[in-house]
Homo-oligomer: A and B are copies of this chain.
Amino acid sequence: MFDETDQLSVNALRALSIDMIERAGSGHPGLPLDAAPMAYVLYSRHLRVDPQAPNWTNRDRFVLSAGHGSALLYSLLHLSGFPTSMADLQQFRQLHSMTPGHPEHGLVAGVDATTGPLGQGLGMAVGMAMAETHLAAQFNTPQQQVIDHFTYVICGDGDLMEGISHEAASLAGNLKLNKLIVLYDSNDVSLDGATDRTFSDDAQQRFTSYGWDYQKVSDGNDLAAIDTAITAAKAATDAPSIIEIKTTIGFGAPKQGTHLVHGAPLGQSDLAVTKRNLGWQAEPFTVPAAVKQRFQKQVQQRGQSAHQQWQTLLTAYAQAQPALAEQLQQALTQKLPANWQADLPQYQMGTSEAGRTTSQKMIQALAAKVPSLWGGAADLASSNKTDIAASSSFSATARQERNLNFGVREFAEAAAMNGIALHGGTHVFGGTFFVFSDYMRGAIRLAALQHLPVTYIFTHDSLAVGEDGPTHEPVEQLMSLRAMPGISVIRPADPNEAVAAWRLAMTTNDRPTVLVLTRQELAVLQGSLQQPNGVSRGGYVISPQQHSQAEGILMASGSEVALAIKAQQQLRKFGHDVVVVSMPCFDRFMQQSAAYREQVLPQQIRRRVSIELGVTLGWERFVGLDGLSLGVDTFGASGPAAEVLAEYGFTTAALVAAYQKLW
């Protein structure tokens, strides 16, 4: 079933990988040398991809969770006929190359997810499998299975040590994601040495405990055994599959089986010995014609044929199910229905509402018009108010439903959201308490790096949480997230700003949006009502001064804007004519023109005070050396919210006094 050319092809992957690493002078040869057989079997016999159409909707997904093995992935892409050229391989790890140190989605065609931070690849793959099964339930008909593909992962020991592997695998088991197949490169070695020094899990027991199917391949070079196991995994109907494949790290290298081959080039001498051990005779960066032909036939032609069949199927589907086909098309292109804003809530003066409640209403209004919208929370749906009332829980037996129950698994939630967004076809949101955004930071960062348009619903956004105390009161999370590149962080001041924030989240396609929402009520503010575009500019004058030029500026975000407006009124009585700026979104404000920013924060006005229920560090960007930032530079306290806020100086009187003391 496997012949010499297959074996030669496996060694081509190995040889190219170590050539790349040697030339780059850095990289990780251990995994490519040991995992080349499983990767080859997967690509040549199973993975359904069209190298000429790397983003084909119904392709099988592949995630190299052990992203440090990138050389193997690029070698696969090159030989399979993806745009990765031999010249690209020779530029491995060079600046501006198409073969960066770890696989980067978006940059490299055929890379379905950016990986490297261990464990997250598995989490993203779970999200992909969730998206696949949800879209299949939404769109497939008995005649036409337009969404029907597998999600494959190669992971290593390091991935399975990470906590997120538990969260993701436990969730996948509960959801019975049978089209998720993990190849576990079980080589018993990690960076520092033999894994048994720290890691003695029984993988079979562990994954069985999650409800997974487990298989073992005792010889990682046995192509037929790997093939048989993958074939069996594909046949599973009610469980995800993991195949533990025992390998020898750095197979073929003189130091194989030790951590010394994990993360550094072999060196010219060892490289030569390795190639000799493998029987590899071709020049560096060359492969025999037979190998090229084998890949062309086994990956490219097989994939193109599958893609063509799917196109035919899709055409038939469009005729049989025109409405569904149009909806699918819209979903896959991330387009919103024309009427998506038809019934959004509106708020007039005199109304008050908690940020989380406005978000809840937005979710209902959006969900009614946008069938691709789904989301949930990490066991806090009732607190974050994330449920779509008209839908039920997405589960193993109700895959069409739109409420995602992630369990108490914030990190896997965020990673799965990334996978869902990478898969395409839906708009996804996910919530937790703002303070626990810390648990998912690694995945928020990967969302930003990959430009994924996911929406986070972070409620209970300040000390106003009250009784739950400092472990549950975010203080530094707001500025810490503002510090992250590539994300938009919005903390609305009232219901209208919250509506605007959600609208921005829905229309932002190139980055994650973080919605930072209160648990407590916020009164509608005149200025936000009058300036529906204020939030989109990041910062705007929400309450102007009385005279032509203000004496000073009060600036705030979220629940503190109302406080600033009250202080403005008080200060007038003392002859201080100040302007109030609402600053819901630092990043959007920084993207405005210099002229607009000058209009909102005129350079010559130096009496500036910011007030926010979070750390002050960062507000100096707008306050400068002559102003004052009122905030919370310690942890919070447990007590009724009003008392906690007063204790920390969040009163109109304190703000007024602070201004008056300075000026």
A446 (CB) vs chain B CBs: closest residue: B471
B199 touches A638 (CB 8 A): no
A615 touches B485 (CB 8 A): yes
If the complex has contacts A190-B379, A472-B101, are A94 and B639 also in contact, measured as CB distance less than 8 A?
A: yes
If the complex has contacts A162-B167, A483-B618, are A114 and B198 also in contact, measured as CB distance less than 8 A?
A: no
B471 touches A117 (CB 8 A): yes
A495-524, CB under 8 A of B: which get 1 and which 0? 000000000000000000000000000000
B201 touches A95 (CB 8 A): no
Does A412 sit at the interface, judged by CB under 8 A? yes
A633 touches B198 (CB 8 A): no
Q: What total of chain A residues lie within 8 Å of the partner, measured CB to CB?
A: 116
Does A441 sit at the interface, judged by CB under 8 A? yes
A379–B411 Cα distance when bound, in Å, is: 21
A10–B643 Cα distance when bound, in Å, is: 34
Distance from A546 Cβ to chain B, minimum over Cβ atoms (Å): 24
A198–B416 Cα distance when bound, in Å, is: 14
Flag the segment in A128-136, A204-212, A223-231 that touches B: A204-212
If the complex has contacts A174-B200, A379-B192, are A469 and B101 also in contact, measured as CB distance less than 8 A?
A: yes
Does A345 sit at the interface, judged by CB under 8 A? no
Distance from A184 Cβ to chain B, minimum over Cβ atoms (Å): 14
Does A35 sit at the interface, judged by CB under 8 A? no
Partner pick for A603 among B94, B97, B625, CB 8 A cutoff:
B625
A97–B210 Cα distance when bound, in Å, is: 42
A174–B448 Cα distance when bound, in Å, is: 36
Does A166 sit at the interface, judged by CB under 8 A? yes
A441–B93 Cα distance when bound, in Å, is: 29
Does A252 sit at the interface, judged by CB under 8 A? no
Does A372 sit at the interface, judged by CB under 8 A? no
Partner pick for A173 among B116, B200, B643, CB 8 A cutoff:
B200
A95 touches B479 (CB 8 A): no
Does A314 sit at the interface, judged by CB under 8 A? no
Distance from A552 Cβ to chain B, minimum over Cβ atoms (Å): 14
If the complex has contacts A209-B202, A469-B102, are A634 and B436 also in contact, measured as CB distance less than 8 A?
A: no
A446–B439 Cα distance when bound, in Å, is: 12
Does A19 sit at the interface, judged by CB under 8 A? no
A175 (CB) vs chain B CBs: closest residue: B198
If the complex has contacts A407-B199, A442-B438, A471-B67, are A93 and B639 also in contact, measured as CB distance less than 8 A?
A: yes
A99 (CB) vs chain B CBs: closest residue: B638
B191 touches A383 (CB 8 A): yes
Does A640 sit at the interface, judged by CB under 8 A? yes
B382 touches A471 (CB 8 A): no
Distance from A92 Cβ to chain B, minimum over Cβ atoms (Å): 9
Partner pick for A116 among B158, B407, B469, B483, CB 8 A cutoff:
B469
A638 touches B95 (CB 8 A): yes
Distance from A112 Cβ to chain B, minimum over Cβ atoms (Å): 15
Does A56 sit at the interface, judged by CB under 8 A? no
Does A573 sit at the interface, judged by CB under 8 A? no
If the complex has contacts A118-B408, A638-B93, are A192 and B382 also in contact, measured as CB distance less than 8 A?
A: yes
A624 (CB) vs chain B CBs: closest residue: B625
A206–B170 Cα distance when bound, in Å, is: 10
- Interchain Cβ contacts under 8 Å between A and B, 7 examples: A95-B643, A116-B468, A161-B379, A163-B409, A198-B406, A198-B409, A620-B620
In the A-B complex, the 8 residue pairs with the smallest Cβ-Cβ separation, listed nearest first, are: A163-B163, A95-B639, A166-B166, A100-B638, A205-B209, A116-B471, A198-B407, A624-B625
